[in-house]
Amino acid sequence: MRPFDYVEPETLEEALEILAADPDDTVVMAGGTSLVILLKQDLIRPARVLGLRRIAELRAISATDEGLVLGALATHGMLARSPAVRAHAAALASTFAAVATVRIREQATLGGNLAHADPAQDPPVTLLALDGAAVARSRFGERRIPLDTLFTDLFETSLEPGELLLRVELPRLPVAARATYQKFLPATRDDYATVSVAAAVATDARGACTHARIALGGAATVPLRAREAERSLMGRRFDDAAIREAAALAAAATDPIDDLRGSASYKRAMVGVWTERALREVA
Protein backbone atom coordinates (compact mmCIF):
# COMPACT_ATOMS: atom_id res chain seq x y z
CA MET A 1 0.00 0.00 0.00
CA ARG A 2 1.34 3.45 -0.93
CA PRO A 3 1.33 6.10 1.85
CA PHE A 4 -1.54 8.62 1.69
CA ASP A 5 -2.96 11.45 3.79
CA TYR A 6 -6.05 10.62 5.80
CA VAL A 7 -8.62 13.33 6.52
CA GLU A 8 -11.82 12.93 8.50
CA PRO A 9 -14.05 16.01 8.37
CA GLU A 10 -16.95 16.60 10.80
CA THR A 11 -19.40 18.10 8.30
CA LEU A 12 -20.67 17.37 4.81
CA GLU A 13 -19.71 20.87 3.61
CA GLU A 14 -16.13 20.36 4.76
CA ALA A 15 -16.01 16.95 3.03
CA LEU A 16 -17.28 18.43 -0.25
CA GLU A 17 -14.66 21.21 -0.08
CA ILE A 18 -11.83 18.72 0.44
CA LEU A 19 -13.11 16.57 -2.41
CA ALA A 20 -13.54 19.54 -4.76
CA ALA A 21 -9.98 20.73 -4.12
CA ASP A 22 -8.47 17.57 -5.68
CA PRO A 23 -11.21 15.22 -6.96
CA ASP A 24 -8.91 13.05 -9.09
CA ASP A 25 -6.48 12.22 -6.29
CA THR A 26 -8.90 11.90 -3.35
CA VAL A 27 -10.90 8.75 -2.61
CA VAL A 28 -13.79 8.56 -0.24
CA MET A 29 -13.93 5.93 2.50
CA ALA A 30 -17.12 4.92 4.31
CA GLY A 31 -16.83 1.50 6.02
CA GLY A 32 -13.62 0.70 4.14
CA THR A 33 -14.54 -2.96 3.51
CA SER A 34 -14.00 -2.73 -0.25
CA LEU A 35 -11.68 0.27 -0.38
CA VAL A 36 -9.02 -1.12 1.95
CA ILE A 37 -8.72 -4.23 -0.24
CA LEU A 38 -8.19 -2.03 -3.32
CA LEU A 39 -5.56 0.03 -1.45
CA LYS A 40 -3.74 -3.04 -0.12
CA GLN A 41 -3.63 -4.60 -3.58
CA ASP A 42 -2.24 -1.34 -4.98
CA LEU A 43 -5.15 -1.16 -7.42
CA ILE A 44 -5.69 2.46 -6.43
CA ARG A 45 -3.02 4.92 -5.29
CA PRO A 46 -4.72 8.08 -4.03
CA ALA A 47 -2.82 10.98 -2.51
CA ARG A 48 -5.61 11.37 0.06
CA VAL A 49 -8.35 9.28 1.67
CA LEU A 50 -11.40 11.17 2.88
CA GLY A 51 -13.09 9.35 5.77
CA LEU A 52 -16.83 9.97 6.06
CA ARG A 53 -17.60 8.24 9.35
CA ARG A 54 -17.93 11.41 11.48
CA ILE A 55 -20.69 12.86 9.28
CA ALA A 56 -23.64 11.68 11.37
CA GLU A 57 -26.34 13.24 9.16
CA LEU A 58 -25.51 10.70 6.42
CA ARG A 59 -26.52 7.80 8.68
CA ALA A 60 -30.21 8.69 9.02
CA ILE A 61 -32.98 6.28 7.99
CA SER A 62 -36.47 7.81 7.84
CA ALA A 63 -39.99 7.13 6.61
CA THR A 64 -41.59 10.18 4.94
CA ASP A 65 -44.97 10.90 3.32
CA GLU A 66 -43.38 10.06 -0.04
CA GLY A 67 -41.66 6.84 1.01
CA LEU A 68 -38.35 5.90 2.60
CA VAL A 69 -35.00 7.69 2.80
CA LEU A 70 -31.83 5.73 3.51
CA GLY A 71 -28.65 7.62 4.42
CA ALA A 72 -25.52 6.61 2.52
CA LEU A 73 -23.60 5.94 5.74
CA ALA A 74 -26.22 3.58 7.19
CA THR A 75 -24.65 0.14 7.53
CA HIS A 76 -26.29 -3.00 6.17
CA GLY A 77 -26.80 -4.10 9.79
CA MET A 78 -28.62 -0.86 10.74
CA LEU A 79 -30.78 -1.15 7.62
CA ALA A 80 -31.62 -4.82 8.24
CA ARG A 81 -32.79 -4.00 11.80
CA SER A 82 -34.60 -0.75 10.99
CA PRO A 83 -38.37 -0.85 11.73
CA ALA A 84 -38.86 1.81 9.01
CA VAL A 85 -37.13 -0.37 6.42
CA ARG A 86 -39.11 -3.44 7.49
CA ALA A 87 -42.38 -1.49 7.39
CA HIS A 88 -41.61 -0.29 3.86
CA ALA A 89 -40.85 -3.78 2.56
CA ALA A 90 -39.79 -6.81 4.60
CA ALA A 91 -37.91 -7.99 1.48
CA LEU A 92 -35.68 -4.91 1.71
CA ALA A 93 -34.72 -5.63 5.32
CA SER A 94 -33.97 -9.26 4.42
CA THR A 95 -31.83 -8.09 1.48
CA PHE A 96 -29.56 -6.15 3.83
CA ALA A 97 -29.52 -9.14 6.20
CA ALA A 98 -28.33 -11.31 3.28
CA VAL A 99 -25.09 -9.33 2.80
CA ALA A 100 -21.98 -11.31 3.76
CA THR A 101 -21.34 -11.88 7.48
CA VAL A 102 -22.19 -9.90 10.60
CA ARG A 103 -18.70 -8.33 10.61
CA ILE A 104 -19.16 -6.92 7.11
CA ARG A 105 -22.80 -5.92 7.72
CA GLU A 106 -21.92 -3.84 10.79
CA GLN A 107 -19.07 -2.03 9.02
CA ALA A 108 -20.07 -1.70 5.36
CA THR A 109 -22.45 1.03 4.23
CA LEU A 110 -25.19 1.47 1.67
CA GLY A 111 -23.33 4.29 -0.13
CA GLY A 112 -20.12 2.25 -0.30
CA ASN A 113 -22.06 -0.68 -1.70
CA LEU A 114 -23.67 1.38 -4.47
CA ALA A 115 -20.48 3.25 -5.37
CA HIS A 116 -18.44 0.02 -5.45
CA ALA A 117 -20.85 -1.32 -8.12
CA ASP A 118 -20.07 -5.01 -8.01
CA PRO A 119 -22.95 -6.60 -9.98
CA ALA A 120 -23.15 -9.53 -7.54
CA GLN A 121 -24.01 -7.29 -4.58
CA ASP A 122 -27.41 -7.66 -2.92
CA PRO A 123 -28.89 -4.22 -2.06
CA PRO A 124 -28.82 -2.72 -5.61
CA VAL A 125 -31.10 -5.50 -6.87
CA THR A 126 -33.93 -4.94 -4.40
CA LEU A 127 -33.49 -1.16 -4.52
CA LEU A 128 -33.91 -1.32 -8.33
CA ALA A 129 -37.09 -3.39 -7.98
CA LEU A 130 -38.40 -0.79 -5.52
CA ASP A 131 -37.75 2.10 -7.99
CA GLY A 132 -34.96 3.62 -5.90
CA ALA A 133 -33.03 6.74 -6.80
CA ALA A 134 -29.70 7.89 -5.39
CA VAL A 135 -29.04 11.51 -4.47
CA ALA A 136 -25.49 12.76 -4.96
CA ARG A 137 -23.94 16.14 -4.14
CA SER A 138 -20.77 17.94 -5.14
CA ARG A 139 -19.69 21.45 -4.15
CA PHE A 140 -21.57 22.62 -7.25
CA GLY A 141 -25.00 21.14 -6.49
CA GLU A 142 -27.17 18.11 -5.91
CA ARG A 143 -28.64 15.65 -8.42
CA ARG A 144 -31.02 12.70 -8.32
CA ILE A 145 -29.83 9.57 -10.14
CA PRO A 146 -32.41 6.81 -10.79
CA LEU A 147 -30.64 3.60 -9.83
CA ASP A 148 -31.04 2.11 -13.32
CA THR A 149 -28.72 4.87 -14.59
CA LEU A 150 -26.25 4.78 -11.68
CA PHE A 151 -24.55 1.52 -12.68
CA THR A 152 -22.73 1.88 -15.99
CA ASP A 153 -20.31 -1.08 -16.11
CA LEU A 154 -18.43 -3.56 -13.95
CA PHE A 155 -17.35 -1.55 -10.85
CA GLU A 156 -18.31 1.69 -12.62
CA THR A 157 -21.01 4.25 -11.92
CA SER A 158 -22.23 7.53 -13.35
CA LEU A 159 -20.98 9.40 -10.25
CA GLU A 160 -18.76 12.33 -11.25
CA PRO A 161 -15.41 13.08 -9.60
CA GLY A 162 -16.17 15.33 -6.62
CA GLU A 163 -19.64 13.82 -6.02
CA LEU A 164 -20.65 12.11 -2.80
CA LEU A 165 -23.64 9.79 -2.47
CA LEU A 166 -25.88 11.25 0.24
CA ARG A 167 -28.91 8.95 0.31
CA VAL A 168 -31.26 6.61 -1.51
CA GLU A 169 -34.93 7.54 -1.88
CA LEU A 170 -37.67 4.95 -2.37
CA PRO A 171 -41.25 5.86 -3.32
CA ARG A 172 -44.15 4.20 -1.49
CA LEU A 173 -44.97 0.80 -2.92
CA PRO A 174 -48.36 0.57 -4.66
CA VAL A 175 -51.14 -0.62 -2.37
CA ALA A 176 -51.21 -4.44 -2.14
CA ALA A 177 -47.78 -4.81 -3.76
CA ARG A 178 -45.75 -7.77 -2.56
CA ALA A 179 -41.97 -7.94 -2.80
CA THR A 180 -39.29 -10.58 -2.40
CA TYR A 181 -35.52 -10.99 -2.68
CA GLN A 182 -34.07 -14.37 -3.64
CA LYS A 183 -30.30 -14.95 -3.40
CA PHE A 184 -28.90 -18.10 -4.99
CA LEU A 185 -26.00 -19.31 -2.83
CA PRO A 186 -24.77 -22.73 -3.99
CA ALA A 187 -21.45 -22.57 -2.06
CA THR A 188 -21.62 -20.91 1.39
CA ARG A 189 -24.24 -18.76 3.10
CA ASP A 190 -21.91 -15.75 3.45
CA ASP A 191 -20.90 -15.65 -0.24
CA TYR A 192 -21.87 -13.13 -2.90
CA ALA A 193 -24.84 -14.29 -4.97
CA THR A 194 -24.26 -16.49 -8.00
CA VAL A 195 -27.40 -14.78 -9.24
CA SER A 196 -30.15 -12.97 -7.37
CA VAL A 197 -33.66 -11.78 -8.17
CA ALA A 198 -35.89 -9.15 -6.60
CA ALA A 199 -39.53 -8.86 -7.62
CA ALA A 200 -42.32 -6.47 -6.66
CA VAL A 201 -45.79 -7.20 -8.02
CA ALA A 202 -49.30 -5.88 -7.38
CA THR A 203 -52.51 -7.35 -8.76
CA ASP A 204 -56.07 -6.01 -8.94
CA ALA A 205 -59.26 -7.67 -7.70
CA ARG A 206 -59.40 -9.80 -10.87
CA GLY A 207 -55.84 -11.05 -10.32
CA ALA A 208 -54.34 -9.02 -13.19
CA CYS A 209 -50.93 -7.39 -12.72
CA THR A 210 -51.08 -3.65 -12.12
CA HIS A 211 -47.42 -3.27 -11.13
CA ALA A 212 -44.45 -5.47 -12.00
CA ARG A 213 -40.77 -5.00 -11.27
CA ILE A 214 -38.11 -7.66 -11.72
CA ALA A 215 -34.43 -6.89 -11.02
CA LEU A 216 -31.47 -9.22 -11.41
CA GLY A 217 -28.06 -9.46 -9.74
CA GLY A 218 -25.03 -11.34 -11.08
CA ALA A 219 -26.75 -11.45 -14.46
CA ALA A 220 -24.61 -8.91 -16.37
CA THR A 221 -21.83 -6.41 -15.69
CA VAL A 222 -24.43 -4.27 -13.89
CA PRO A 223 -27.55 -5.06 -11.86
CA LEU A 224 -30.44 -5.15 -14.36
CA ARG A 225 -34.16 -4.50 -14.65
CA ALA A 226 -35.81 -7.29 -16.72
CA ARG A 227 -38.11 -4.88 -18.54
CA GLU A 228 -39.47 -7.26 -21.20
CA ALA A 229 -40.43 -9.70 -18.46
CA GLU A 230 -42.12 -6.88 -16.52
CA ARG A 231 -44.06 -5.78 -19.63
CA SER A 232 -45.20 -9.35 -20.29
CA LEU A 233 -46.91 -9.40 -16.87
CA MET A 234 -48.66 -6.03 -16.99
CA GLY A 235 -52.45 -6.25 -17.36
CA ARG A 236 -52.28 -10.02 -17.49
CA ARG A 237 -53.59 -12.61 -15.02
CA PHE A 238 -50.71 -13.45 -12.68
CA ASP A 239 -50.93 -17.20 -13.24
CA ASP A 240 -48.59 -20.08 -13.91
CA ALA A 241 -48.23 -19.43 -17.64
CA ALA A 242 -47.52 -15.72 -17.08
CA ILE A 243 -44.89 -16.55 -14.45
CA ARG A 244 -43.13 -19.07 -16.69
CA GLU A 245 -43.10 -16.68 -19.65
CA ALA A 246 -41.74 -13.81 -17.52
CA ALA A 247 -39.01 -16.06 -16.08
CA ALA A 248 -37.91 -17.07 -19.60
CA LEU A 249 -37.85 -13.40 -20.69
CA ALA A 250 -35.79 -12.47 -17.62
CA ALA A 251 -33.24 -15.19 -18.45
CA ALA A 252 -33.11 -13.93 -22.06
CA ALA A 253 -32.35 -10.39 -20.83
CA THR A 254 -29.14 -11.46 -19.11
CA ASP A 255 -25.57 -11.15 -20.31
CA PRO A 256 -23.60 -12.74 -17.45
CA ILE A 257 -19.84 -13.04 -17.11
CA ASP A 258 -18.03 -16.34 -16.47
CA ASP A 259 -16.43 -16.32 -13.04
CA LEU A 260 -15.71 -18.56 -10.08
CA ARG A 261 -19.42 -18.56 -9.16
CA GLY A 262 -20.45 -20.10 -12.48
CA SER A 263 -20.32 -19.96 -16.25
CA ALA A 264 -22.42 -17.43 -18.14
CA SER A 265 -24.77 -20.14 -19.42
CA TYR A 266 -25.28 -21.57 -15.91
CA LYS A 267 -26.06 -18.13 -14.49
CA ARG A 268 -28.51 -17.45 -17.34
CA ALA A 269 -30.33 -20.72 -16.62
CA MET A 270 -30.35 -19.95 -12.88
CA VAL A 271 -31.91 -16.52 -13.51
CA GLY A 272 -34.83 -18.36 -15.15
CA VAL A 273 -35.18 -20.72 -12.18
CA TRP A 274 -34.88 -18.03 -9.49
CA THR A 275 -37.13 -15.53 -11.28
CA GLU A 276 -39.81 -18.20 -11.41
CA ARG A 277 -39.33 -18.84 -7.66
CA ALA A 278 -39.44 -15.12 -6.87
CA LEU A 279 -42.64 -14.62 -8.86
CA ARG A 280 -44.29 -17.67 -7.25
CA GLU A 281 -43.36 -16.27 -3.86
CA VAL A 282 -45.08 -12.93 -4.51
CA ALA A 283 -48.04 -14.68 -6.16
**Taking CB under 6 A as the criterion, which residues in 183-212 touch ligand FAD?**
192
**Taking CB under 6 A as the criterion, which residues in 44-63 touch ligand FAD?**
52
**Residue 274 is a binding residue for ligand FAD (CB under 6 A):** no
**Residue 104 is a binding residue for ligand FAD (CB under 6 A):** yes
**Residue 177 is a binding residue for ligand FAD (CB under 6 A):** no
Q: How far apart are CA 120 and CA 220, in angstroms?
A: 9
**Taking CB under 6 A as the criterion, which residues in 140-169 touch ligand FAD?**
159, 164-165
Residue selected from 16, 30, 61, 233 as contacting ligand FAD according to rule CB under 6 A: 30
**Residue 108 is a binding residue for ligand FAD (CB under 6 A):** yes
**C-beta separation of 69 from 61 below 8 A:** yes
**Residue 79 is a binding residue for ligand FAD (CB under 6 A):** no
CA Rg, the chain, in Å? Answer: 19
Pick the stretch among 18-26, 96-104, 220-228, 240-248 that binds ligand FAD (CB under 6 A). 96-104
Please state the closest distance from residue 30 (CB atom) to ligand FAD, in A: 3
Please state the closest distance from residue 47 (CB atom) to ligand FAD, in A: 14
Residue selected from 15, 16, 18, 28 as contacting ligand FAD according to rule CB under 6 A: 28
Total number of residues that touch ligand FAD (CB under 6 A): 28
Which residue, 190 or 245, has its beta carbon nearer to ligand FAD? Answer: 190
Neighbour tally for 145: CB within 10 Å? 20
Pick the stretch among 84-92, 117-125, 234-242, 266-274 that binds ligand FAD (CB under 6 A). 117-125
Which residue, 117 or 229, has its beta carbon nearer to ligand FAD? Answer: 117
Which residue, 115 or 197, has its beta carbon nearer to ligand FAD? Answer: 115
Burial 8-21 (b: 16+ CB within 10 A, else e): ebeebeebbebbee
77 to 99, 118, 191: CA distances (angstroms): 9, 19, 16
Please state the closest distance from residue 143 (CB atom) to ligand FAD, in A: 13
**C-beta separation of 214 from 129 below 8 A:** yes
Please state the closest distance from residue 211 (CB atom) to ligand FAD, in A: 25
Please state the closest distance from residue 266 (CB atom) to ligand FAD, in A: 19
Nearest to 160 by CA among 12, 42, 19, 32: 19
Pick the stretch among 27-35, 144-152, 238-246, 253-261 that binds ligand FAD (CB under 6 A). 27-35
Q: Which residues in this chain contact ligand FAD in the complex, by CB under 6 A?
A: 27-35, 52, 72, 99-100, 104, 108-109, 111-113, 115-116, 121-123, 159, 164-165, 192
